[in-house]
Structure 1
């Protein structure tokens, strides 16, 4: 406590006749208050560390497994992959025929959580760095973790005879690293070109539509899973698509027949196209309110 030394100093200041030999005790240096360690951004706290996110993700994985096991009891006529030229306004789907059943998932923040680079970027306060991410794709095996319930989900689908496929925008040049990462996370074997499709496999770039078409030509895809709308159709990711129109597409009557009925979306508050939204996109002007 610093009250006693302060009182002594005030007393001495008011007593000019105090004997010279009387000295005050030295004031100990104040101890600086401990500095609280910086915390991760709220979005990372929620997704990677909260029980709320764990419960939500596990529940989504359970719904996927239940849906898949039930769906194959009666062979569907069509897959859940949009046919070439089809739109969300007039959806049409790739036919199934007698093709084997498959479930197609994004990898990052859908099958696995990328704890390594997400912490690195946050602690360093840097934006996404392609060079760092390239290293992660090559060497991240054993450092990424399966999302809650994903191991149980893929095991149930495989046990039911449903092929599990990953369609991700990881680089085709790092295929071995991605195969190793998925295996080390406990998700089993994925083979590039067969059950693992990557950016660079075709001329489509980051669009997954061409890869989805390739997969649908071989399989009856009954499940699509991802954390971004582009994991379902590139129509959601058209450049300069207004936020209101993107919202309308995702919440249209046609889309409502697909969500949780073949299309399954995982929560991801960490990154996505929605990061570009402005105040008026998220908060309609006619709903503004100010306290009096």
Structure 2
């Protein structure tokens, strides 16, 4: 998870201005205080959906079931020759390469699936409550959360059963997170959510473990692939699959097209598994003009036109 929070559209946070009547002395209109945020206040829409809705739970369970089914099918077939495609630009020119599933001595590497942590295997409900009640994200509060917040996380719906199925099939879950302040805190959060043991630099990799102070994950994926035959990747952000998607020069629609067409489109559900996160991250960037191309801007009176071609996945 890229721990960068975008502006949150929190209902009730905007100041409600007083009427335009002025005092007899001609003073400026005074501003009414912002309404207090209480447990009865409406939570932000994105938070309500991810942390409170049955729909979000259903989507997560569905994804976990698909992932476990996929992993079990791989274990029943011939041993994979190479890992799933992932961000290993040193291997191929297009930035999404694979690694041999055999060691230098010819022996097979153990099978693994690489997971993001936050909002992929655990839900940071305690910290999101802190934000929803009128506080703002800061490095200091997030560091404190990493260290001591394990008791206030929950497993993503479907994760407990999904990870149990993977381990029973002989597939090792490996966690690749952009948490950076406390390996012990990350392992504790995973364990307290009922998701089993995670060992730092064996089955748990944090930002900095590849020797760089970067939120990019390609370097850590390369380290993991040296030890394991990685048969799948799972996360809530495209950067959990390959850093090529994090190129800042690529606009919103170009990033979407890159993920939704051609070879990358073929990977979703076939080695790449995405979990929903409408609360924060690179997926919720974009102005109105960037999200809605000129050809898709409608208003009453817009001349009729032919329907645009559907996305041509895999072409």
Change (3 A) 1:181 1:36: closer
Matching of residue 44 in structure 1 with residue 47 in structure 2: yes
Alpha-carbon distance in structure 2 between the residues aligned to 1:160 and 1:52: 28
Per-residue CA distance 1:18-60 (angstroms, 9 max, x = gap): xxxxxxxxxxxxxxxxx99311100000000000000000000
The answer (yes or no) to whether the contact 2:166–2:173 under 8 Å persists in 1 is yes
Structure-2-length-normalised TM-score: 0.77
Tell me the SS of whatever aligns to 2:174: strand
2:64 corresponds to which of 47, 61, 65: 61
1:227 corresponds to which of 209, 214, 236: 236
Matching of residue 182 in structure 1 with residue 186 in structure 2: no
The answer (yes or no) to whether the contact 2:113–2:173 under 8 Å persists in 1 is yes
State which drifts further: 268-277 or 155-164.
268-277
Partner of 1:99: 109
Change (3 A) 1:239 1:162: same
Per-residue CA distance 1:142-164 (angstroms, 9 max, x = gap): 21000101000001100111111
Tell me the SS of whatever aligns to 1:95: coil
Partner of 1:78: 82
Alpha-carbon distance in structure 2 between the residues aligned to 1:36 and 1:220: 47
Q: How many equivalent pairs are there? A: 256
Alpha-carbon distance in structure 2 between the residues aligned to 1:36 and 1:104: 37
Tell me the SS of whatever aligns to 2:164: helix
Higher strand fraction: Structure 1 or Structure 2? 1
Alpha-carbon distance in structure 1 between the residues aligned to 2:194 and 2:272: 23
Structure-1-length-normalised TM-score: 0.83
Q: CA RMSD in A?
A: 1.8
Partner of 1:166: 175
Alpha-carbon distance in structure 2 between the residues aligned to 1:125 and 1:291: 40
Alpha-carbon distance in structure 2 between the residues aligned to 1:240 and 1:71: 36
Partner of 2:146: 137
> Which of these two proteins has the greater Rg computed from alpha carbons?
1
Q: What are structure 1's unaligned runs of at least 5 residues?
A: 1-34
Higher helix fraction: Structure 1 or Structure 2? 1
Change (3 A) 1:142 1:113: same
Alpha-carbon distance in structure 2 between the residues aligned to 1:38 and 1:274: 26
Alpha-carbon distance in structure 2 between the residues aligned to 1:84 and 1:258: 17
